[in-house]
Amino acid sequence: MKYVDEFRDAALGRALAGEILGQLEPGRHYKMMEVCGGHTHSIYKYGIDDLLPANVELVHGPGCPVCVIPMGRVDDGIGVALQEGVIFTCFGDMLRVPGSNGSLLDAKAQGADIRMVYSPLDALRIARQNPNREVVFFAIGFETTAPSTALTLKRARAEGIENFSCMCSHVTIVPPLRALLESPDLRLDGFIGPGHVSTVVGARPFEFIPADYAKPVVIAGFEPLDILQAIAMILRQLAEGRCEVENQYTRVVPYEGNERALEVMAEVFELRPHFEWRGLGFISHSGLRLSEAYADLDAERRFSVPGVRVADPKACQCGEVLKGVIKPWECKVFGTACTPERPIGTCMVSSEGACAAYYNYGRFAREREVV
Amino acid sequence: MTPESGGVMASRAPGTDREQKILGIIETARGKRSRFRDEHINMAHGAGGRATQSLVEGMFAPAFASASLLELADAGAVEVDGVGLALTTDAYVVKPLRFPGGSIGELAVNGTVNDLAVSGARPLALTLSLVLEEGMAADELRLEVDAIAAAAVDADAQIVAGDTKVVERGHADGMYICTSGIGRRDPRACLSPGRLAPGDRILLSGSIGEHGTAIMLARGEFDLAASIESDTRSLWPAVDALLQAVGPELRCMRDATRGGVASVLNELARSSSVAMLVREADVPVQPAVAGASEILGIDPLYVANEGKLVAFVAPDAVDRALSALRAVEGCEAATEIGEVRAEPPGMVLMQTGFGGRRVLDQLVGDPLPRIC
């Protein structure tokens, strides 16, 4: 595939792996977090961790927008989906995320009309085609997907489509990062910054990480060469004693972000005082809801969503796993109460979460050479 | 750092006691026959991955316990007065009924013929059950009946019995088809997952993912157009050629339908307690399929095929097997994609095109597109 294969060149990959080796201080263990779930996916898909020496460890961060949705929020969604006349639409990978009593996929099996869409505009089209039904779009994602939800709501308003509404579960990236960094027991050397989020917000919002917490950040693309290069750039900062926000993904991410996208988000959304994250608890100003101007399109007002609060089981230690304080197997419920078939925390919900990966492959993790 | 060095994913040196204990608990849980604990049937139970496995192993196999069924092969073995027969059945529920490269009728013949073929049986006869939706256009039915007849002639298998039911409008998506097939086990064939041994090579009869991708695009849910045709065809000529070329050096075969090549490999690795290593760069994928998969966020290794088989052969037989396969229409791109290994048992590993290694896991649910 043209314009894709070039970023997956194995020979260039080997060269970058060699460059990474050259940056390492003998005997030092490096731990860096890839913030975004898309990076985690690429790392697994291409076997990138297999190309790294064992003392360079990648920690999977809180940036999987699907896995961070708490159980109560899924329960609320199912509650709306089961109401008479509702067509409930959402992105595909949200369907499998468990609530306290099953997933949206289970609700679909029990008769709820739940449809997978690729874009919020698909949901709006369904509303247009079914004027006698109430079509709800369950909006999830970071700043990456929020602008497309915002534009869809603007279009619904402009076209006067009244049977469309949005159950907004959008989240923002900076508050959970700050929450992680505030933790006194954090053990991370640097961050691979989220590429897609940065196309919208730009690089500036991450400046606080080197400034306030003295950790390097490299915003990276999603192809395997992007990720290896970002790792090499973080290691070079560490080796040279530098600490700054660098942009590896310059072909897509401008420093200032996408001003028009930010404008439309500011018009349609407002910050919630606090939002609950699976495994991380409540984080202030970390979630978005529809602004007063768009209240009539807010499914939470239209359907009187109860706001179910289902506490994460106390024993779940996803927060510590995310901070790199403990290994998955050190969590009290790992492998017993919490398994991929019956996950409790965010790290087990996604097949790419740290706990699910360890559960499936831990015994067979290849001995990698320590440099 | 040397991807080609031996001892793939050797067991990690003993960690702490607690880590070992936890890993032990996981291994015990994994080794158990899957239990079926779901309260409802959902789409994942039909997707051919872990959920399907839990249904088959946890509910069907215990209820119908028979030695042949427990092998969970594509066709069951029956012996009648010393004659070895293979028996199989399959239901076809495709939306839309017609798609680029084929239709439900053609599929209903080829799918059942292929289950017999990869079990080493020459297809002899088929039965045909039709479930029709009230209001279906007669012309549409006639098209499918013609397709069934033509495919049966091509596969040299007669339709010998049938049944028809009509259900109320709103059910059966136009039509469902169920076919059963009987075949005679070929004396040249000596096929069993139990014969897989470390060192055996994994062959694939052609490029993958075309059928599933053609169906996905034909549904029109994604605004994508591409010239991708279903690969539906009878695999008996390919099997016949393989048996002629390598006979008993052919260890085992599967047709890579629902769940794709990855699911077939995982099933066999698990049931035979061997490992497999697949080289991603050697797996043939048509550019249009690769492009559509990239956009949809789906891995072609998990996408259904309707005319591709995976064959395991002894290392010495690779060249003979491949030249025999490549001479068969539809298998010109046949190639070796990997090999059987001893460690770690039950797992399929993949050397990615980029050079890293990863686990090519069983499908957990329906393949769902990712948002991020």
Quick check: B3 and A329 CB within 8 A? no
Quick check: A339 and B29 CB within 8 A? yes
pLDDT the model gives residue A306: 78
B68 backbone dihedrals φ, ψ, rounded to 5°: -65, -40
- Total number of residues shown for chain B: 372
Distance from CA of B285 to the nearest CA of A (A): 11
Whether B345 has its CB under 8 Å from any CB of chain A: the answer is: no
Beta strands in chain B (DSSP E): 76-80, 83-92, 98-99, 102-103, 121-133, 158-167, 175-185, 201-204, 250-255, 275-279, 309-313, 335-341, 348-351, 357-359
Extract the tokens encoding A214.
Answer: 């003295």
End-to-end CA distance of chain A: 35
Q: Considering only residues A244 and B61, tell me which one the structure prediction assigns the higher pLDDT.
A: A244
Whether A50 has its CB under 8 Å from any CB of chain B: the answer is: yes
Q: Strand A274-277 vs strand A281-284: parallel, antiparallel, or unpaired?
A: antiparallel
Distance from CA of B306 to the nearest CA of A (A): 25
pLDDT category, A369, cuts 50, 70, 90? low
For B35-82, write each residue's pLDDT tens digit.
888 888 888 888 877 788 889 888 988 888 777 776 767 889 889 999
Whether B222 has its CB under 8 Å from any CB of chain A: the answer is: yes
Test the A interface: residue of B42, B354, B361, B363 with most A CBs within 10 Å? B354
Q: Who among B12, B291, B351 is closest to A1 (CB)?
A: B291
Interfacial A residues in 300-319 facing B (CB < 8 Å): none
pLDDT the model gives residue B9: 38
Q: Who among B22, B29, B352 is closest to A334 (CB)?
A: B22
pLDDT the model gives residue B239: 97
Whether B60 has its CB under 8 Å from any CB of chain A: the answer is: no
For A56-96, write each residue's pLDDT tens digit.
988 888 888 888 888 899 999 999 999 999 999 999 888 88
Q: Strand B83-92 vs strand B201-204: parallel, antiparallel, or unpaired?
A: unpaired
Quick check: B40 and A36 CB within 8 A? no
Extract the tokens encoding B176.
Answer: 């469902």
pLDDT the model gives residue B49: 77
Q: Who among A4, A14, A105 is closest to B42 (CB)?
A: A105
B43: chain A residues, CB-CB within 8 Å: 105, 108-109
Whether B357 has its CB under 8 Å from any CB of chain A: the answer is: yes
Distance from CA of A284 to the nearest CA of B (A): 24
- For chain A, give the mean pLDDT: 90
A145: chain B residues, CB-CB within 8 Å: 371
Query: What's the sign of the alpha-carbon dihedral A222, A224, A229, A230?
Result: positive
pLDDT the model gives residue B64: 87
Contacts A–B by Cβ distance under 8 A: 143
Q: For residue A171, which of A85, A87, A287 has the smallest C-alpha distance? A: A287
Asked whether residue A153 carries a pLDDT value surpassing 70, the answer given is yes
Extract the tokens encoding A79.
Answer: 């509650």
| Helix (H), strand (E) at residue A288 | strand A288-290
> How far is Cα of residue B238 from the mean position of the Cα atoms in its chain?
15
pLDDT the model gives residue B365: 65
Quick check: B353 and A13 CB within 8 A? no
- Mean pLDDT computed over A282-306: 93
Whether A194 has its CB under 8 Å from any CB of chain B: the answer is: no
Nearest residue on chain A to B285, alpha-carbon basis: A1
B291: chain A residues, CB-CB within 8 Å: 1
Interfacial A residues in 130-169 facing B (CB < 8 Å): 140-141, 144-145
Cis peptide before B96 (omega within 30 of 0): yes
What's the ipTM?
0.84
Q: For residue B7, which of A273, A296, A366 has the smallest C-alpha distance? A: A366
For B159-194, write each residue's pLDDT tens digit.
999 999 999 999 999 999 999 999 999 999 999 999
A112 backbone dihedrals φ, ψ, rounded to 5°: -65, 140
pLDDT the model gives residue A363: 63
Distance from CA of B75 to the nearest CA of A (A): 30
A21: chain B residues, CB-CB within 8 Å: 1
Q: Considering only residues B204 and A315, tell me which one the structure prediction assigns the higher pLDDT.
A: B204
Low-confidence ranges of chain B (pLDDT < 70): 1-15, 30-31, 70, 72, 364-372
Quick check: A109 and B222 CB within 8 A? no
Q: For residue A329, which of A351, A348, A346, A314 has the smallest C-alpha distance? A: A348
Nearest residue on chain A to B290, alpha-carbon basis: A1
Q: Considering only residues A359 and A120, tell me which one the structure prediction assigns the higher pLDDT.
A: A120
Q: Who among B13, B290, B344 is closest to A1 (CB)?
A: B290
B364: chain A residues, CB-CB within 8 Å: 96, 340, 351
Quick check: A53 and B1 CB within 8 A? yes
Extract the tokens encoding B338.
Answer: 């990997």
Asked whether residue A177 carries a pLDDT value surpassing 50, the answer given is yes
Whether A200 has its CB under 8 Å from any CB of chain B: the answer is: no
Interfacial A residues in 239-298 facing B (CB < 8 Å): none
Nearest residue on chain B to A50, alpha-carbon basis: B356
Test the B interface: residue of A45, A50, A60 with most B CBs within 10 Å? A50
Asked whether residue A19 carries a pLDDT value surpassing 50, the answer given is yes
Quick check: B364 and A351 CB within 8 A? yes
Asked whether residue A368 carries a pLDDT value surpassing 70, the answer given is no
How many alpha carbons lie under 13 Å from residue B298 in its C-beta half-sphere? Answer: 25
pLDDT the model gives residue B371: 58
Whether B5 has its CB under 8 Å from any CB of chain A: the answer is: no
Asked whether residue A322 carries a pLDDT value surpassing 60, the answer given is yes
Asked whether residue A168 carries a pLDDT value surpassing 90, the answer given is yes
Q: Who among A93, A145, A335 is closest to B25 (CB)?
A: A335
Quick check: A116 and B29 CB within 8 A? no
Burial label for B39, CB within 10 Å (0-12, 13-18, 19+), is exposed
Whether A115 has its CB under 8 Å from any CB of chain B: the answer is: no
- pTM value is 0.88
A366: chain B residues, CB-CB within 8 Å: 8-10, 357
Quick check: A51 and B355 CB within 8 A? yes
Nearest residue on chain B to A139, alpha-carbon basis: B371
The CA R_g of chain A, rounded to the nearest whole Å, is 21
Whether A66 has its CB under 8 Å from any CB of chain B: the answer is: yes
Asked whether residue A175 carries a pLDDT value surpassing 90, the answer given is yes
Test the B interface: residue of A341, A352, A367, A368 with most B CBs within 10 Å? A341
Amino acid identity of residue B126, one-letter, is L
Whether A53 has its CB under 8 Å from any CB of chain B: the answer is: yes
What is d(CA A354, CA A347) in angstroms, rounded to the nearest whole number? Answer: 5
Asked whether residue A331 carries a pLDDT value surpassing 80, the answer given is yes
What is d(CA B84, CA B90) in angstroms, rounded to the nearest whole number? Answer: 21
Whether A368 has its CB under 8 Å from any CB of chain B: the answer is: yes
Nearest residue on chain A to B11, alpha-carbon basis: A364
Q: Strand A164-170 vs strand A134-141: parallel, antiparallel, or unpaired?
A: parallel
Whether B153 has its CB under 8 Å from any CB of chain A: the answer is: no
Quick check: A65 and B9 CB within 8 A? no
